[in-house]
A and B are shown apart, each in its own frame.
Chain A
Amino acid sequence: MRHIISILMENEAGALSRVAGLFSARGYNIESLTVAPTEDPSLSRMTLVTRGTDEIIEQITKQLNKLVDVVKLMDMTDGPHIEREMMLTKVRAEGDGREELKRVSDIFRGRIIDVTDKSYTIELTGTGDKLDAFLQALDRALIIEVVRSGVSGIARGERALKL
């Protein structure tokens, strides 16, 4: 099963490599991983998407907790949560195609954030499925470049990952 694990860790050099190294050394897979400082500059927050049986996920969370740089973690998938991913897509936009691309972008609530006479860059936020669907809706030949941020997640309601 797919799990989203959010981690608060010391914002120190090498902390990311400890997490990445743990996954490769123990043969766990990482689907996506995002990391950035939080409102507390001494802490980074990482969101990690992985897959595994219940036993493997249990081991992953225990092994992560064992890392000295990891302060606290939460498996978002244990409760109601929201996940979001941001994607920037650069597409060829010429002639009649420009209008159609604008329409598709609007349907997905995308925003065109850069325009040239030959291209659009579209910003889109949503779940991974939605971003996939958007890419499906585009003519593959028009896609120049796709950048995805990886998943960020937050629990619904009062549940929160904080110190």
Chain B
Amino acid sequence: MELTGAEIFVRSLQDEGVEIIFGYPGGAVLHIYDALYRQDKIQHILTRHEQGATHAADGYARATGKPGVVIVTSGPGATNAVTGIATAYMDSIPMVVFTGQVPTHLIGNDAFQEADNIGITRPCVKHNFLVKDVRDLAETIKKAFYVATTGRPGPVVVDIPKDVTAEKTEYHYPDKVSMRSYNPVHVGHAGQIKRAVRLMLDAKRPMIYTGGGVILGNAAGSLTELARLLGHPVTNTLMGLGAYPATDRQFVGMLGMHGTYEANMAMHHCDVLIAIGARFDDRVTGNIEKFCPNAKIVHVDIDPSSISKNVKVDVPIVGCVDNVLKAMIKLIKGSKQRPDEAALRDWWQQIEDWRSKDCLKYDHDSELIKPQHVLESLYKVTGGDAFVTSDVGQHQMWAAQFYKFDKPRRWINSGGLGTMGFGLPAAMGVQLAYRDETVVCVTGEGSIQMCIQELSTCKQYALPLKIVNLNNGYLGMVRQWQEFFYQGRYAMSYMESLPDFVKLAESYGHAGMKIDKPADVESALAEAMAMKDRLVFMDFITDPAENVYPMIPAGGGQNEMILI
């Protein structure tokens, strides 16, 4: 039987196993929406803005490991989605975004709601496709999911002109596709793995540095096994938190610009660095000239172009992180050689000295609410077991520093692109995937206003998110840099005319709370968490002068941290 393109679209998603899609209708995708209306297998979540749809799909993907799926209309629908696509691209999140397009005969005519979606998204997608013939639709959708979810994952855009969704053809969804130009590597080079293991066992001052790749590659279990086998210290990047249990003694905290003193000092002084699924981002390395001056570097990554991009490495290993780590574990278990215990004891002694600086300390006796106090209390009240999304800025760093993630996929933030407005819609995606889990969005009064319209979506779908708004009246990270590096000239970093967030939340039908005394922080959080079936917006009025410490200043090396 022949189906229309719109029906083929829906059937393809069903056959792909898609359960939920995020989107916003419009002229070019009306046939598709009509086909969605006439089925009940796939749930469609109507956001209030296309950016919200992409972030929600992104949050869903990060929490579940399944690809996030988005549908938006042509022109402004697609351009509004671009920030969300770029966010997913920078953090290698599997996502398939369907954009409507004007009918093929109008493409290039400056038609109503026309934009060159392929051209606009090209630099921020793993790949994109324009479907010009309905007979190519099903296979293209299969390819889109295949490319998005294999190798180094990433967003894929499929641009579908309206006439293609109306034309008819036989439906056949391929079981699998192969593309001669796309063959991701799975298994690491055995010789290189052997070399890496030798370095790891010989190391006197080893350091394991892991990133988002361990989470994306579902390798947290293998990483933990390897690290415990070796007894090496472990640090995670912002994207990698949760890959190794943060409450474990071998974990030395996050590294980088606002990482812990002990993590950064250990990086600087290590003799063997084992980088796993991390990409030596500038926020991690600080001044590249001063980076790990005495270390032999092993780098495991699925993307060959990540290797030796920023830092020249000694032992590159391209492959699926989990496969490579398992191979390493096997070699170590089979080897007669054991890690150098005496050297490791000295090394840990040194690390404990650095750790004793207590670099995350803050004033517990303040009259004002300290944001760190809120995060510590949140950790306590949720038993360390919530899904936490964040926006971007100071609150993001405090959440990363103070919420100790023991499991992967629980910490969800825009690390690469640094997209303000990410937190709330991402949290919706997480909550939709895990209806019974506690999902917290840690945000600030600047970030939350960038996608605040999604409070309406939360109402429609009864998403009981807990929003922790650290409201200091400033774009805090901007303010911090202006204080440090622009002699306190606070250009445009003060947020005037803020809404009454409690009333705002209530006007959307949610619960709102305003907390301005340190003594009330924990009880307010407990009260909010107890409201299992409601979204609670907690507006914490925090110390406006608080800064994120410690800090590697721009141009500094990892051993040049500013401590409080």
Footprint of B on A, CB under 8 Å? 9-10, 13-14, 17-18, 21, 25, 55, 58-59, 62-63, 65-66, 68-71, 163
Contacts and interface: CB of A to CB of B under 8 A. Distances in A.
Nearest to A71: B181
Classify chain B's interface size: 10 to 19
A64 to B, nearest CB: 9
Given A13-B130, A25-B123, A68 B308 contact: no
18 contacts: A10-B181, A13-B130, A14-B130, A17-B119, A18-B122, A55-B308, A59-B305, A62-B304, A65-B304, A65-B305, A66-B303, A66-B304, A68-B126, A68-B181, A68-B182, A69-B181, A71-B180, A163-B180
B532 interface: no
Label chain B's interface by main secondary structure: mixed
A69 B130 CA distance: 13
B35 interface: no
Given A14-B130, A69-B127, 15 more contacts: A13-B130, A14-B118, A14-B122, A17-B119, A17-B122, A18-B122, A25-B123, A55-B308, A59-B305, A62-B304, A65-B305, A66-B304, A68-B126, A68-B182, A163-B180
Interface of B: 118-119, 122-123, 126-127, 130, 147, 179-182, 303-305, 307-309, 312
A59 B118 CA distance: 24
B312 A66 contact: no
Contacts of A71: 180-181
A125 B127 CA distance: 38
Contacts of A21: 122-123
Contacts of B147: 68
Contacts of B307: 62
The 4 A-B residue pairs with the shortest CB-CB distance, nearest first, are A62-B305, A68-B127, A71-B181, A68-B182
Nearest to B118: A14
A35 to B, nearest CB: 16
Contacts of B312: 55
Contacts of A70: 181
A63 B304 CA distance: 9
A106 B553 CA distance: 65
A68 B179 contact: yes
Contacts of B305: 59, 62-63, 65-66
A21 to B, nearest CB: 6
B89 to A, nearest CB: 12
